[in-house]
Amino acid sequence: MVINDIKKTYKYIFESYGKPSLEEHIQKIIELDTYLPYSSTFFCVTNTQDLTFEYISKNMTACLGLDKDLLFNEGMRYFWSRMHPEDLEQWLQALNELMIFTLKEVKLEDRTKMSYTWNYRIKNSKDEYVNIVQNTTPLELDENDKPIIGMAHYTVLHPDIKMQVCASAKLLNGNNEYETLYFNNFSQKLLSDSISNRERDVIRLLVLNHSSKAIAEKLSISPNTVDTHRRNILKKLNISSTGELVAILKMNRTFI
């Protein structure tokens, strides 16, 4: 897939109207970036209308070895040019389905409480394809309430890790816990299609070593309901224990 085709499809997915003001967001992010340590993550403010990066954190070069000024000046087209060609169509399909889901299923008042996650491979300065897990939270909506400005966090993982292209949409609930509203694996399935979104939330919290009681509090359900979900998950995946489930997920680096 060539860059022009990517641009056309990407613009279609994020087609929108009206330009929001970014000055306040950008200033807060610049202030925050000054105090952040170097790590395997970096963040950007993305503008899907103009296909630009409004801000790129200092860790980008440390993570990928790329020229920050070049990425800032060339925008998303340059970033796309470094993506693994086998991931491009799945990535665009994931973005399109996430946008369709948001516009059809997410209430207007909830759209700034959403968190979207997807992954792909990108070539670093050493010409190695590394894994990127991108998590984006909307900062601004256009006049039709479509997300167009986002805070994007990028986590860089080793190229030897084999990851399937997945996408998810989560809503921040009243207990400040993200609940899965949408999940799709655009590569070969690892988890059964029969796993529900609620069960994915239980699995994700189990991987973080939360107890049934803690999971119940975060998801606003009873501990008995959590235990029922745990039994159903083991049955659906044909495994014998929660420990085995956690080990499988950590070994495969699958995000839920």
- Give the distance between the most distant pair of CA atoms in the chain: 54
Query: Rounded mean pLDDT of 176-181?
Result: 90
3-state secondary structure of 150: strand
Cα distance between residue 55 and residue 6, in whole Å: 22
Q: Which of 172, 188, 204 is the last residue of a domain?
A: 188
Query: Rounded mean pLDDT of 47-69?
Result: 91
Q: Same domain, yes or no, for 248 and 131?
A: no
Q: Which of 11-20, 101-110, 161-170 has the lowest mean pLDDT?
A: 11-20
Q: Same domain, yes or no, for 116 and 163?
A: yes
Q: Same domain, yes or no, for 123 and 245?
A: no
Mean model confidence pLDDT for the chain: 85
Residues whose CB falls within 8 Å of the CB of residue 106, separated by 6 or more in sequence, listed in order: 114, 169, 171, 181
Sign (positive or negative) of CA dihedral 151, 156, 157, 159: positive
Q: Same domain, yes or no, for 167 and 211?
A: no
Q: Which of 188, 217, 244 is the last residue of a domain?
A: 188
Contact 210, 229 (CB under 8 A): no
Residue pLDDT, tens place only, 219-255: 889 999 999 988 888 887 777 777 777 766 665 555 5
Q: Same domain, yes or no, for 75 and 159?
A: yes
Q: Which of 188, 209, 235 is the last residue of a domain?
A: 188
Residue 110: phi and psi, rounded to 5, are -100, -5
Tokens of residue 18, six digits:
């009206």
3-state secondary structure of 35: coil
Burial 40-62 (b: 16+ CB within 10 A, else e): ebbbbbbbbbebbbbbbbebbbe
In the chain, how many domains are there?
Answer: 2
Tokens of residue 206, six digits:
């189990």
Q: Same domain, yes or no, for 140 and 93?
A: yes
Give the domain extent around 98.
3-188
Residue pLDDT, tens place only, 73-104: 999 999 999 999 999 888 998 999 999 999 99
Q: Same domain, yes or no, for 8 and 63?
A: yes
Q: Same domain, yes or no, for 159 and 198?
A: no
Residue pLDDT, tens place only, 101-124: 999 999 999 998 999 999 999 999
Q: Same domain, yes or no, for 56 and 182?
A: yes
The domain that holds 253 is classified in CATH as: 1.10.10.10
Closest CA relative to residue 3, chosen from 63, 51, 73:
51
Q: Same domain, yes or no, for 12 and 31?
A: yes
Helix (H) or strand (E) holding 30: helix 23-33
Residues whose CB falls within 8 Å of the CB of residue 7, separated by 6 or more in sequence, listed in order: 51, 77, 80
Full-model pTM: 0.73
Q: Is 31 a residue whose pLDDT tops 80?
A: no
Inter-CA distances, 179 with 19, 103, 191, Å? 30, 18, 18
Q: What is the pLDDT of residue 245?
A: 72
Q: CA angle at residue 245 from 240 to 251, to 5 degrees? A: 135
Query: Rounded mean pLDDT of 8-22?
Result: 78
Q: Same domain, yes or no, for 193 and 181?
A: no
CA neighbours closer than 13 Å in the CB half-sphere of residue 44: 20
The domain that holds 103 is classified in CATH as: 3.30.450.20
Q: What is the pLDDT of residue 171?
A: 94
Cα distance between residue 236 and residue 3, in whole Å: 41
Q: Is 19 a residue whose pLDDT tops 90?
A: no
Q: Same domain, yes or no, for 182 and 106?
A: yes
Contact 171, 219 (CB under 8 A): no
Residue 205: phi and psi, rounded to 5, are -75, -30
Contact 254, 164 (CB under 8 A): yes
